[in-house]
Amino acid sequence: MDTGVRTTNLTGVPISDEVLVNRNGTTTVQAIADLATQLAGTGPLAQAIDAAQEGTITGLTLASLGSGTRVGQKGEVYQGSDKGTWSWNGSAWVRVADLVDTAALQAAVSAVSARVSNVDNTSDADKPISNATQAAILGIAADFPVVWRPGDAPEHFVDSLDGGVPAVLPPLSTGIQRYDDSGRILRVSGSGLIGCRTLYSLEPNKIYLVEFVVQRRTNSPDPSNDAVRCAMAWYDQGANRSAVPLTIIRDLTSLSVGSGRTLVSATISRSAGDGIDLIAPADARYARPYIQTFGVSPVTDIEVIRWEDITHTTTYAPDLDALEARVAAQESIDAGDRLTNVEEQVTAPNSVRYATVAALASANVPVSADYVELLGYYNVGDGGAKYCRRMSAPEAALPLEHPSNGGSVRWAPVGAYSLLQLGAKKDGATDLWSFLSIAAGFGGKWTLPRGDYSLAGVARNLTATDFKLEGEFGSRIVVTTGTAVTVGGTRVAIEGIFFDSNQPSRAGVLFELTGSQCSISRNRWAGKFSIFVRDSGIGNNISYNSFDAFVTTVSPIILKGKNFTCAFNSMDDYFGFGIQAFDGATDGLIAWNTIKARRWDQTVTATAGQTQFTVTWAQADVQRFGMLVNGLRVSFTVNSTDSSPGSRPTVTYTLASALAGGETVSLFAWRSLENINVNFGSSGVKVIGNTLDGTGDGNIVIASGYTTASDADYPHNVQIIGNMCRNAAAGGIGVSKSRGGLIMGNTVVDAGRGLADGATGSQVSEVFMSGIYLPKELGWTVTGNRVVRESGYTYYGIAFSVAGDTSYANTAVGQRRHRVGGNFIENMQRKRYYTFADSSNVLRQIDIDIDDLTWYPYPETLQSLVNTAGWLSRPASTSYWTTATSGSGWTRNTAQASGHPVCIETNDNSYADCTPVGFSLFASGFVRVSFKAYVSAAGQSGYVTIAHSTVPDSDSAPSTTINITNTTPQVYQHVRPIDTIDNFLIRVGGAVSNGKMYVTDIKLEYAPSDVG
């Protein structure tokens, strides 16, 4: 063997500077640093270095590891079903072992071992364990956090339902952790959410128990809306664990401080089975239990949110020898009493839980149980959950009681009743009536939980005593065609429900109140109906209702009862009347309602000779129309003679006269009629404090327009006080065919827009374009009102309608037709006061006390005519009167004058006239005539006629004749408005055969005013 070149033996050194190497067949020297660089660059050593640098890849899920960088690379997954140790084979990760936290395990084992070694294993079996031993055993648990108590382990809980990686969710605020008699808890003020940080996996064929414990610390003023919700959030199997729809296990809607510590629990699985309360959604693979609080003021303690796999609590079979040993050990530490309590609850529980009413009915409840808990009615979580107590044998039947044990045991619900607990379904289709009628039969308060329900189109009677149905926020009843409910009995209340009509056309009466002291209040109404609520009972209440914009042919509210209250309702547009009282409405209150009726406007510029304007309105069911030219009322008609008013949107407005061109033409349309209407057969109705904005007629109308009955059937003794009236198509407050009342303290702004009736096409008289208009019938007091025109079209402040009234027969001695005073009238388009003439343009008599006027006596030269020389025997040659009757039977009877300048005495069939002319002071004002009159003896009669003419030299005067039959002097007074005058007449005359009468103290006064 060739041993090659040998060197002498040298001493070894730990480090070197260079080595001999071979490079391409040549021996040379290589520095140690260069050699290290070469070895680290390639080859096995380089691979080992790379592997060491790459190290172990870690992640919360297997997907988060990504791809390995070399074969054999180690990976660790910390959460979920893939938790464990993995190895990269070049194309995929391969599970190699479970992941064990050896350090934590060793620390826990060492701690347990240390404490167990301290246990005193005494041989005296009867001797109790020492205090030190007891503390050592109990102290072991302290090393393991109670992860289902948020107060003890807040790091295991979050205030979010976000999916994804639970570990990265933000921690809870430490400011809500408290320490009190329930241990460590989380205290939530107002609304909030606490849920488990961990997303618990839902494995097939496993059963889980979820428990929630809460306690109210401060009560809510509205517990049904400020509820505490115990619920489950579900997540799918995707990488981001997206949320699946939530499931509410129970809403605690009556939780209070007095409820104490409240437990809610349920069993959960992915598939149905015995004892399963809740089945997880089909696509749910993870679960997060949570508690959510609502409201602003209540304070709630969150004690427990627990999730536990209980599958093996029923299938695990322990080793008996080991079990006996463990029991002996427990007995050695006096655990017997504790075990006895547990055993008693297992073998003789004091409360039992069942999934549904049917499950309870088929069960044999242990005799030890005093309470049962039902998790639903038809199904778990359907809203029919409740607690029930065992009823005593002789106890009378109660609402919602349920049998068990073959009918020998009865259970009565604890707390508030719900229609869901009777089996009602919130599917928006199942008829609610049978459940509602059962509840009404029991009486008391019943709730309608949040959700959609249905009332089928059938007429029903709901007669009950002391029954209330109250909807929770979000409860909605869909009302179908033909639905009609007559509410009878006493003290029946329906409150807090959204009634949504899906009728295709306007028809029917939804609620007819025939009972007494019943209430339809705090409800919401929408859709099409003829009448939503009609009252014909006694002492009923219709208040705080809200009406959406909808279509109705008559009125949302009709009042025909006695002593009713209709207050604080709100309406946003309607078809017909807003609120109407008639046909028996007596001593009722219509107050503090807010009613708005919409108006559609269009403004155009006229062309020369134009007479017609055609508009297609955006709203298809308009029925009232208005027209102004340059802001003034004009004569026009509309082509609206529909048999069904309000059925088409296209309208043609036709002027009586052609326009010159360039005028601004304002066109209007409304769906509504009056905001408030008090009609025939009503008495003592009070209309107070309402806010009324916009109407296709008057804001408030008192009339008798639907009957031909006598004036005895007219509305009377009506009070209209303190209302705000705006933007009426006609008048603000209109009164016709009525018998007396009070109009006081109201404000009317911008009334009158040239109204035309959509049914007839004809235009409404301009008298109705007034702030307030009064009838010819007697007895209205009008005081303290404010009538102003801001930007509208109010023609007259106060108008008096006396058309067709040709006699004074209904006016008693000394009675005035109306009393008017203390009103503020400003900026009218025409006049402050106006008197309406009939179709023949004859201004009939009117007698009104107007305190707003300042009265002045006539000049003495004119007054003297009355008292001295102004009296004529009416010769035929007098040009002012075309006919004459011989009147020599009158004299100036000074003896009967009683200190006055003159007394006119008339005999049978004679009269005396005073006809001064040229009274320019009469123009545009009021004239007041007063006098004393009496007859000489019983059976005698006379008359005084007061008249004036607006036609020169004409005696076709509108006149007032006052018949005198009293035998003692009486004071008479007459007031009439006069626009223009040609002559004035006072006639004193006797009857044909028994007409001896005395008239004295005649006085003429005038009051200048803006009057027509």
Q: Which pLDDT tens digit goes with each residue over 703-760?
A: 876 554 567 788 989 999 999 999 988 889 988 888 889 999 999 999 887 676 666 6
Mean pLDDT score, 869-895: 37
Q: How many residues does the chain have?
A: 1012
Q: Minimal CA–CA distance to 950: which of 922, 927, 928?
A: 922
Cα–Cα distance measured from residue 806 to residue 861, given in angstroms and rounded to the nearest whole number? 32
pLDDT at 307 over 90: yes
pLDDT at 551 over 70: no
* Residue 913 near residue 985, CB atoms below 8 Å: yes
For 810-833, the three-class secondary structure string (H helix, E strand, C coil) is: CCCCCCCCEEEECCEEECCCCEEE
In one letter, which amino acid is 690? N
Q: Provide the CB-side half-sphere exposure for 462 (13 A, CA).
A: 33
Instruction: Please provide residue 523's backbone torsions phi and psi, each rounded to the nearest 5 degrees.
Output: -105, 165
Higher pLDDT, 72 or 607: 607
pLDDT at 874 over 60: no
Full DSSP string of 878-890? -TT-S-----TT-
* Strands 475-479, 451-455: pairing kind: parallel
Query: In sequence order, which residues have a C-beta less than 8 Å from that of residue 184 and are 6 or more positions away?
Result: 149, 151, 152, 177, 178
Q: What is the pLDDT of residue 803?
A: 47
Q: Is the dihedral of CA 823, 1008, 829, 669 positive or negative?
A: positive
Cα–Cα distance measured from residue 455 to residue 485, given in angstroms and rounded to the nearest whole number? 10
Angle at CA of residue 773, ends 847 and 960, nearest 5°: 20
Angle at CA of residue 934, ends 881 and 969, nearest 5°: 130
* Residue 264 near residue 249, CB atoms below 8 Å: yes
With both helix axes pointing from N to C terminus, report the angle between 320-332 and 336-347 in degrees, rounded to the nearest 10: 120
pLDDT at 622 over 70: yes
Cα–Cα distance measured from residue 102 to residue 100, given in angstroms and rounded to the nearest whole number? 6
pLDDT at 882 over 70: no
Cα–Cα distance measured from residue 199 to residue 210, given in angstroms and rounded to the nearest whole number? 13
Q: How confident is the model at residue 984 (pLDDT cuts 50, 70, 90)?
A: low
Q: Minimal CA–CA distance to 217: which of 184, 250, 249, 190?
A: 190
pLDDT at 388 over 80: yes
Mean pLDDT score, 850-863: 63
pLDDT more than 90, % of the chain:
29
Q: What is the pLDDT of residue 870?
A: 40
Q: Which of 218-227, 589-598, 861-870 has the lowest mean pLDDT?
A: 861-870
Coil, strand or helix at 720: strand
Q: What is the pLDDT of residue 354?
A: 93
* Strands 208-218, 299-309: pairing kind: antiparallel
* Residue 74 near residue 85, CB atoms below 8 Å: yes
Q: What is the pLDDT of residue 842?
A: 36
What is the chain's mean pLDDT, rounded? 78
Question: Which of 73-82, 303-312, 853-862 has the largest mean confidence?
Answer: 303-312
Q: Which of 65-74, 666-675, 690-699 has the lowest mean pLDDT?
A: 65-74
pLDDT, tens only, 950-967: 655 454 455 677 888 889
pLDDT at 868 over 50: no
Question: Which residues on adjacent β-strands are paired with residue 235?
Answer: 243, 286
Mean pLDDT score, 89-104: 73
Q: Where are the alpha helices (DSSP H) in 294-384?
A: 320-332, 336-347, 357-361
Q: How confident is the model at residue 463 (pLDDT cuts 50, 70, 90)?
A: very high
Cα–Cα distance measured from residue 199 to residue 287, given in angstroms and rounded to the nearest whole number? 5
Mean pLDDT score, 780-804: 80
pLDDT at 597 over 70: yes
Cα–Cα distance measured from residue 775 to residue 767, given in angstroms and rounded to the nearest whole number? 11
Higher pLDDT, 727 or 123: 727
Cα–Cα distances in Å, from 99 out to 76, 83, 451?
A: 7, 7, 48
Q: What is the DSSP letter of 930?
A: E
Place of tokens 């008017």: 820
* Residue 1006 near residue 921, CB atoms below 8 Å: yes
Mean pLDDT score, 303-315: 82
Q: What is the pLDDT of residue 813?
A: 38
Q: What is the pLDDT of residue 863?
A: 42
pLDDT, tens only, 327-377: 677 667 665 566 666 666 667 788 899 999 999 999 999 988 999 999 988
Q: What is the pLDDT of residue 734?
A: 87
Full DSSP string of 41-71? HSSHHHHHHHHHHH--EEESSSGGG---SST
Q: What is the pLDDT of residue 885?
A: 36
Higher pLDDT, 946 or 881: 946
pLDDT more than 70, % of the chain:
74
Cα–Cα distance measured from residue 196 to residue 720, given in angstroms and rounded to the nearest whole number? 63
Element (H, E) at 265: strand 261-269
Mean pLDDT score, 926-935: 82
pLDDT at 302 over 70: yes
* Residue 190 near residue 297, CB atoms below 8 Å: yes
Higher pLDDT, 979 or 109: 979
Q: How confident is the model at residue 129 (pLDDT cuts 50, 70, 90)?
A: low
Mean pLDDT score, 458-476: 93
* Residue 154 near residue 174, CB atoms below 8 Å: yes
Element (H, E) at 504: none
Cα–Cα distance measured from residue 73 to residue 65, given in angstroms and rounded to the nearest whole number? 11
Higher pLDDT, 775 or 331: 775
Question: Which residues on adjacent β-strands are paired with residue 87?
Answer: 74, 94
Element (H, E) at 732: none
Q: Which of 99-103, 547-551, 728-732, 869-873 has the lowest mean pLDDT?
A: 869-873
Q: Minimal CA–CA distance to 257: which of 297, 296, 298?
A: 298
In one letter, which amino acid is 272? A
Q: What is the pLDDT of residue 237?
A: 84
Coil, strand or helix at 26: strand
Tokens read off for 318: 């322990």
Cα–Cα distance measured from residue 534 to residue 523, given in angstroms and rounded to the nearest whole number? 15
* Strands 208-218, 261-269: pairing kind: antiparallel
Full DSSP string of 402-462? EEEGGGTEEEEE-S-EEGGGGT---EEEEE-HHHHHHHHHH-EEEEE-SEEEEE-S-EEEE
pLDDT at 923 over 70: no
Tokens read off for 506: 């306007």
Cα–Cα distance measured from residue 691 to residue 726, given in angstroms and rounded to the nearest whole number? 8
pLDDT at 471 over 50: yes
* Residue 776 near residue 737, CB atoms below 8 Å: no
Coil, strand or helix at 230: strand
* Residue 669 near residue 646, CB atoms below 8 Å: no
pLDDT at 145 over 60: no
* Residue 608 near residue 659, CB atoms below 8 Å: yes
Q: How far apart are the first and last CA of the chain?
A: 152
Higher pLDDT, 570 or 13: 570
Question: Which of 224-238, 756-770, 845-859, 985-999 has the largest mean confidence?
Answer: 224-238
Q: What is the pLDDT of residue 605?
A: 95
Q: How confident is the model at residue 595 (pLDDT cuts 50, 70, 90)?
A: very high
Cα–Cα distance measured from residue 983 to residue 959, given in angstroms and rounded to the nearest whole number? 12
pLDDT at 416 over 70: yes
Cα–Cα distance measured from residue 527 to residue 710, given in angstroms and rounded to the nearest whole number? 38
pLDDT at 929 over 90: no
Q: What is the pLDDT of residue 133?
A: 52
Q: What is the pLDDT of residue 981?
A: 61
Query: In sequence order, which residues have a C-beta less than 8 Å from that of residue 496 and are 6 or more positions away?
Result: 448, 470, 471, 472, 473, 475, 522, 523
Q: Minimal CA–CA distance to 410: which of 426, 425, 388, 432?
A: 388
Coil, strand or helix at 786: strand
Q: What is the pLDDT of residue 760?
A: 66
Q: Minimal CA–CA distance to 392: which of 410, 405, 404?
A: 410
pLDDT at 883 over 50: no
CB atoms near residue 221 (< 10 Å): 10
Q: What is the pLDDT of residue 662?
A: 93
* Residue 703 near residue 801, CB atoms below 8 Å: no
